[in-house]
Amino acid sequence: MNFLCFGNKNNKSILFIHGMASTAKLCYEPILKQLADYYVILAEVDGHSEQTKELISLEENCDEIEDYIINNLSGNLYCLSGFSMGATMAVEIIGRGNVNVTKTHLDAAFLIKMGLLTKPYTYIFCKAIKRMQTGKAIPKFIMDAVMGKDNNSVREMLYLPITSGTIKNACEFVYKYNIPEKIRNYRGTVLFWRGSNEPYPEKSVDLLKKYLPDLIDIEIENMGHGQYLHEHSDEYAGKLIEYLQN
């Protein structure tokens, strides 16, 4: 993994984990200016930047994020924020309980196990990414059904050099993910954002509420997957800051 740091280390810290097949900068660079009063760390997941090797294990990447927090922040992080795959990783990290996280922000966490659909969904995802990498179109009805109506955010945030091996290993973690029982012991606050046009995050938040009944669930109207972050980054940052300051 690689970590990009911005701001004064003496300020409250926020660590962001980006989504699958994207990059830390594509996801979060547009909101950095508004977060100038915080110490911001962007985690670059393996296989999702030129500075990292191909992804083998997202579990190992979670280990590395924990190690970073322990070694560089004395084990204490003010806010952990993740989008999509990154939000699933954030759930894993707070669920382990090895580091102290005061606030957690989840944007469209994917927590629903795919079961027998894991292999076909992974295959379809890899084929879709390959088509986008080669400039070919994906049928609009498929994109609308999976990512939300008229949502081009995933295409625009795509990390073109990503390999099929990285995607397969990421899907293996996300599509088979089990929420840790120990997450019930988490004492920080949890804010869960999801677009009204996203089917799986709605199911995910219902599942997570069984472990964390006090989490704050916010539905963003008329938004698909990644759309609020990508198309409304100023508002996204403003609402996130409101949560950080409460």
Structural domains in the chain, CATH included, are 2-245 (3.40.50.1820)
Q: What is the pLDDT of residues 87-140, one digit of tens each?
A: 999 999 999 999 999 999 999 999 999 999 999 989 988 888 888 888 887 766
pTM for this entry: 0.95
Helices (H), the chain: 24-28, 58-72, 85-96, 118-133, 140-147, 153-156, 164-174, 199-209, 227-231, 233-245
Percent of the chain with pLDDT over 70: 95
State the pLDDT at residue 151: 67
Contact 208/91 with Cβ under 8 angstroms?
Answer: yes
Beta bridge partners of 6: 40
Contact 110/84 with Cβ under 8 angstroms?
Answer: yes
